[in-house]
């Protein structure tokens, strides 16, 4: 069984347990010390409160709710939960900051990029937009520009995961880090078969995901401002 498949039934992603337990241990340790040793009950609760709130936030942040993709293999689902911020059509020679991505992954074609931004309260587990074979996956180091900056898709640290469907349609997933919290992870290997809506990885406080598709093969179904749910909301349909 592949790593991402093992995580499908984790209610809380295992990577988060350390960040959940450490605040609890520190908080209750301080609470017990002040309450039973120093006899300072008010101070004990004041110390416990922020640690408990941090642990609860981490518990919420690393949650992994079940997602069920809609029926129909031609439905391409969102890779992240959040809000669509932009839908942009790009060619390799249009001079935009995104053009190098098209040149590398969709040479000679027009591609569409659907960008989703996440808030700290959104589910940060990412899912696969299409089913098929992972033909390319790589983590790329880089800068930490604001994710609203168009250049962040190219220059920020990010992961690149390409999945190809049996009919040849290619879907590029890009998990992009931000200026403050800087880690994204994927749990896939090259050559691995994957299913639509299956777990891809997680943004550990990262805040943007770009999905790239060949513009001539799909019809986009979302617009800027639309809320989307990873693994469930249809963002495009195969023509």
Q: Domain boundaries in the chain?
A: 3-61, 75-238
Which alpha helices (DSSP H) does 70-176 contain, by range?
99-105, 152-155
Mean pLDDT, range 180-194, rounded to an integer? 88
Nearest residue to 227 via CA among 85, 96, 25, 94: 85
- Provide the pLDDT for residue 22: 96
Domain 75-238: which CATH class? Answer: mainly beta
Predicted TM-score of the model (pTM): 0.90
In the set 115, 152, 153, 207, the catalytic residue is 207
Rounded Cα–Cα distance for residues 145 and 155 (Å) = 8
- The four Cα atoms 83, 220, 201, 150 give a dihedral, to 10 degrees, of -60
β-strands 234-238, 75-77 pairing: antiparallel
- Provide the pLDDT for residue 151: 62
Please write the tens of the pLDDT for every residue from 19-68: 999 999 999 999 999 888 888 889 989 999 999 999 999 999 999 999 99
**Residue 73: active-site member:** no
Structure confidence at residue 159 as a pLDDT band (50, 70, 90): very high
Count of C-beta atoms within a 10 Å radius of residue 43 = 15
């Amino acid at each position: 069984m592949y790593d991402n498949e093992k995580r499908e039934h984790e209610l809380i992603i295992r990577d988060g347990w350390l960040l959940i337990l450490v605040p609890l241990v520190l908080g209750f340790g301080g609470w017990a010390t002040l309450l039973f040793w120093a006899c300072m009950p008010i101070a004990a609760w004041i110390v416990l409160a922020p640690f408990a709130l941090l642990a609860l936030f981490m518990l919420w942040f690393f949650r992994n709710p079940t997602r069920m993709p809609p029926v129909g293999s031609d439905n391409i689902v969102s890779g992240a939960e959040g809000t669509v911020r932009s839908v942009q059509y790009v060619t390799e020679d249009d001079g935009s900051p995104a053009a190098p991505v098209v040149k590398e992954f969709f040479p000679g074609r027009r591609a569409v990029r659907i960008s989703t931004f996440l808030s700290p309260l959104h589910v940060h587990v990412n899912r696969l937009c299409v089913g098929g074979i992972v033909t390319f996956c790589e983590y790329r180091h880089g800068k930490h520009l604001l994710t609203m900056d168009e250049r962040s898709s190219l220059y920020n640290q990010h992961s690149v995961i390409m999945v190809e469907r049996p009919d040849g349609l290619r879907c590029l997933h890009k998990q992009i880090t931000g200026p403050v919290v800087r880690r994204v992870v994927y749990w896939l290997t090259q050559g691995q078969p994957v299913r639509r809506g299956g777990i891809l990885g997680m943004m550990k406080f990262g805040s943007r995901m770009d999905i790239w598709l060949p513009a001539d093969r799909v019809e986009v179904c979302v617009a800027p401002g639309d809320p989307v749910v990873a693994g469930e909301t249809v963002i495009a349909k195969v023509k």
